Amino acid sequence: MTFFLAAMARDIRLHLRSPQDILNPLVFFLVVISLFPLGVSPSPGQLSAIAPGVIWAAALLATLMSMDLMFRSDFEDGSLEQMVGSGQSMVVLSLAKVLAHWLVSGLPLILLMPVVGLLLFLPFDVIVTMAVSLALVSPTLSLLGGIGAALTVGLERGGLLVTILVLPLYVPVLVLATAMAGASMTGLPIQGYIYWLAAILLLAISLAPLAIAAGLRISVER
């Protein structure tokens, strides 16, 4: 636990030293959301109808923008090689790095959800549903994206390869999250979607760190 907390705190400090890496995805998310009323229609009814899909597409793209940064700086300065050879658990290290990444990239998206929901004229209960789904899905996106980032960290133009690798894994989660918002808008129960998203998150927490650790070893040794 001490190693986990120390690794997570180190990564958070590194992220905060480069605030542009944190702000760029958030600004991109807000710009995409704010452009839709101009490009589609300012009608509240039409905007609220397409809002869940717009929000999830923007959140997915914003998350993908920051995935390549998860291990890149450690690889470039040689820290990652030292970590792999240190004898410490790479699974614990991988989980700490993913959690640090989520705290600076996924959590701000959740905090922005009320503002985005009001901008797109979503009802209050749908805004709450979207915030809950973001809280369940955004850690999963970081965990799955970490697998692609670990495999491509040593390659040039790794960001594009990360997108190609992890986008198919994002599709089922995105479909469930959008369906959950749609059910909330029509007054249908959403508990089943919450259970499915929570189960996927637990599965990702269990298996993704193992895949990330293996990917980091492969990237360092090649």
Q: Give per-residue pLDDT as tens, 121-152.
A: 888 888 899 899 999 999 998 899 888 888 88
Q: What does the pLDDT look like over 14-44, one tens digit per residue?
A: 777 877 777 888 888 888 888 877 777 667 7
What residues contact residue 185 under an 8 Å CB cut-off, 6+ apart? 48, 49, 52, 123, 126
pLDDT, residue 194, reads 93
Q: Tell me which residue of 165, 171, 168 sits closest to 146, measured CA to CA.
A: 165
**φ, ψ for residue 65, nearest 5 deg:** -60, -30
Q: Tell me which residue of 26, 33, 23, 25 sits closest to 53, measured CA to CA.
A: 33
Reported as a pLDDT band with limits 50, 70 and 90, residue 161 is: confident
Q: Is the pLDDT of residue 158 over 60?
A: no
Q: Tell me which residue of 112, 124, 110, 131 sits closest to 177, measured CA to CA.
A: 131
Radius of gyration (C-alpha) of the chain in whole angstroms: 18
Domain ranges of the chain: 2-221
Q: What does the pLDDT look like over 55-110, one tens digit per residue?
A: 888 888 888 887 877 877 777 777 777 777 777 788 888 898 899 888 888 888 88
pLDDT, residue 159, reads 60
Q: Which two tokens stand for residue 59?
A: 């959140």
Q: Tell me which residue of 148, 131, 136 sits closest to 94, measured CA to CA.
A: 148
Q: How far is CA 118 from CA 19, 115, 183, in A?
A: 26, 5, 19
Q: Report DSSP letters for 71-123, one per residue.
A: THHHHHTTHHHHHHTT-S-HHHHHHHHHHHHHHHHHHHHHHHHHHHHHHTT--
Q: Is the pLDDT of residue 199 over 60?
A: yes
Predicted structure pTM score: 0.86
pLDDT, residue 204, reads 92
